[in-house]
Amino acid sequence: MPINKFGQWLPDYGSLVNAGVVRALNCVPAPDGFDPVRQHTAITTAVPSRPLGAFSALDKSLAYYQYCGTQTKLHMNVQGAVGGDWTDRSRTVGGPYTAPPDGFWDFVQWGNQVIATDGSDVPQISILGAANFANLSQVGWSFTAKYVTVIRSHVVFAHLNDISDPEGEPQRPSRVKWSGFNNETQWVPDASTLSDYEDLKQQQIIRIFGGEYGVIFQTAAIWKMTYIGAPAAFQFDEVVSEVGLIAPGAAVQVGDTIFFWSQKGFYAITAGSKLTPIGANKVDLFAAVDLDKSYTFKISAASDPRSQQIHFLYPGPGNLGGEPNRRLVFDTATGGWSLIIESLALIWSTAGTSIDLDAAETLPGDPEDLDADEPVSFDDPRWVGGAFALAAFNPTFQSGFFNGSNLAAEIETPEYAFNANGRASLQGFRPLIEGGTLTAYVGSRNALSENVVWGPLLTTGRDLKIYTRTNARYHRIRFEMAGDWDHAMGWEIEDRDLRMGEGRG
């Protein structure tokens, strides 16, 4: 009784030579198969227009704050994990922000403050939880910048409109500029404060990430920015050429590794220099065709803090006006991928907050609200202060988590030539899928030049087998899981259910 395990999803391979599966929809990779995915549930009020970036920050007391930038406003939410209102925290002087509709708000935490920038307005700064943002102090040196991070004890901006450029050429898309040591108000280049700037090769910078060192993405190059102290402060080394970043939102940092989508496929870069392809011979070709390249600026990426998975949200086939409707999921532990179809505006990771479970229910989704359509478990990590979780904004711009019902999932096997010398008659098979409602279809053809012909809908019998009568040279099976299914490992065939050499079905 051979067991056919579900291997990795490998859409870049043909169906007959595929060592994994040819379809893994609305599920996520597991060590020995696939697990279900829950649909997004909105729990906050909506921001007034499409979110161009979102960020979550914790203060020293583990109180957390969510921030979101739109084309004209900056918003804050202090409830977040259990609902709450997005409140306007825009600057009170200078008028609405002027981020372009295809723009990007970048955020970073700096001590007990948060800094935000959109490339069009003066960078913004606010004390965590304070009433409103205000212009970042730029005494003696004015600039705007698209991207921001913190490297060691310096605030660092990249892709500048450097109004105070000494050569009178403010447009500096390849410029990196950093503050004085431990001082976000010092921007005039000065050896005594270590504030300065550096111009890289003439490619525009697409994003910058920080920490102990910086990683700078250009369109077709990656740089490492290393702190070396006085007088130069930082050393810049081009560590990768011919590989860059496809869009500002198409990268996410997890520890010392950045997972990103480039024009050449998906990669991970570790310690600022070790480049590893993660999509080659798996999903790179599929993604290149599936992506609607007119809307790459709507790509967003996030890590799931409760798993080892990275999510890339993007607009694909069937999108409405470029609205992201598909996401590729990469499992860092197994190296496997899957595809999820669900319309969302932006995906991100955010922190949870503490709730007194002895208190009365006050917000939708509170576990005390036992009559809710989708009550949240009492032991859900969201009720722990500071616990991060994968989140997203839906198409109406409300934020929430993935705690709804299971999405209906599909797994399609490769084609099998059970009889090397001719046709085989498949009489039945047993799914190795736990829980839920299971149906299946058998596809068949006698030559690779023919279209696959799919048979009728099949269901399991009392013996948990699925019976069919399909006579062909090539067979494939599409499994469809609905309801509260739990895990899909594969399928098996009993010897009596596979007959060789029959000439007709």
69: Cβ contacts below 8 Å, ≥ 6 apart: 51, 52, 53, 54, 75, 97, 99, 105, 107, 116, 118
On whether the CB atoms of residues 155 and 130 are closer than 8 A, the answer is no
Instruction: Identify the architecture of domain 3-34+407-500 in CATH.
Output: Sandwich (2.60)
Chain centroid offset of residue 41 CA:
17
Q: How confident is the model at residue 381 (pLDDT cuts 50, 70, 90)?
A: very low
Q: Of 292, 173, 295, 296, give the one whose Cα is nearest residue 245.
A: 296
Q: What is the pLDDT of residue 501?
A: 74
Confidence at residue 246, expressed as pLDDT on a 0 to 100 scale: 98
Question: In terms of Cα–Cα distance, which of 49, 120, 16 is closest to 413?
Answer: 16
Give the DSSP letter of residue 93.
S
Q: Minimal CA–CA distance to 308: which of 55, 40, 6, 31?
A: 31
31 prior amide bond cis, ω within 30 = no
CA distances from 368 to 43, 76, 360, 364 (A): 15, 26, 7, 9
The confidence score (pLDDT) of residue 63 equals 85
Are the C-beta atoms of residues 367 and 40 closer than 8 Å to each other? no
pLDDT beyond 90 at 162: yes
Taking the domain 41-353+364-368+379-401, which CATH number applies? 2.120.10.30
> Strand 33-36 to strand 388-393: parallel, antiparallel, or no bridges (unpaired)?
unpaired
3-state secondary structure of 286: helix
Question: Is residue 377's pLDDT more than 80?
Answer: no
Residue 285, judged by CB atoms within 10 A of its CB (0-12, 13-18, 19+), counts as middle
| Closest-CA residue to 52 (of 298, 400, 348) | 298
Q: Which helix (H) or strand (E) holds 127?
A: strand 124-127
Contact present, 172 and 190 (Cβ < 8 Å) = no
In the prediction, which pLDDT does 7 show? Answer: 96
Q: Compute the average pLDDT of residues 78-89.
A: 84
> What is the predicted pLDDT for the residue at 352?
56
List the chain domain ranges: 3-34+407-500, 41-353+364-368+379-401
Residue 365: the pLDDT is 47
Residue of 130, 178, 189 lying closest to 150 (CA atoms): 178
Radius of gyration for the chain, computed over Cα atoms and rounded to the nearest angstrom: 26
Place of tokens 């989708």: 374
- For residue 352, the tally of other CB atoms under 10 A from its CB is 23
Please check the confidence at residue 105 and state whether its pLDDT lies above 50: yes
130 CB neighbour count, 10 Å cutoff: 15
By CB atoms closer than 10 A (0-12, 13-18, 19+), residue 464 is exposed
When pLDDT is averaged across residues 303-326 and rounded to a whole number, the result is 97
Residue 217 pLDDT > 60: yes
- The percent of residues above 70 in pLDDT, for the chain, comes to 91
Beta bridge mates, 23: 412
The confidence score (pLDDT) of residue 80 equals 65
Residues 503, 462: Cα–Cα separation, whole Å: 30
Pairing between strand 213-218 and 221-229?
antiparallel
Note the pLDDT of residue 64.
86
Residue 385 structure tokens = 């202060």
What pLDDT score does 388 carry?
A: 85
Asked whether residue 356 carries a pLDDT value surpassing 50, the answer given is no
Contact between 258 and 209 (Cβ < 8 Å): yes
Task: Give the strand pairing for 74-77 and 64-69.
Answer: antiparallel
pLDDT mean across residues, the chain: 92
Edge-to-edge strands of the sheet including 124-127? 106-110, 113-117, 124-127, 134-135
Q: Tell me the average pLDDT across 356-377.
A: 48
pLDDT value at position 463?
87
Is the pLDDT at 26 greater than 80? The verdict is yes
The whole-number average pLDDT for the span 209-228 is: 97
Hey, what are 405's tokens?
Answer: 């019902």
State the pLDDT at residue 374. Answer: 47
356 has which bridge partners? none
At 502 the pLDDT is 53
H or E segment at 288?
Answer: helix 284-290
| pLDDT computed for residue 1 by the predictor | 54
Residues 339 and 326 sit within 8 Å (Cβ to Cβ): yes
Query: Would you state the pLDDT for residue 376?
Result: 53
pLDDT digits (tens, 9 = 90+) for 427-485: 999 999 999 999 999 999 999 999 999 999 999 988 889 999 999 999 999 999 999 99
Q: Is the pLDDT of residue 178 over 60?
A: yes
pLDDT digits (tens, 9 = 90+) for 244-281: 999 999 999 999 999 999 999 999 999 999 999 999 99
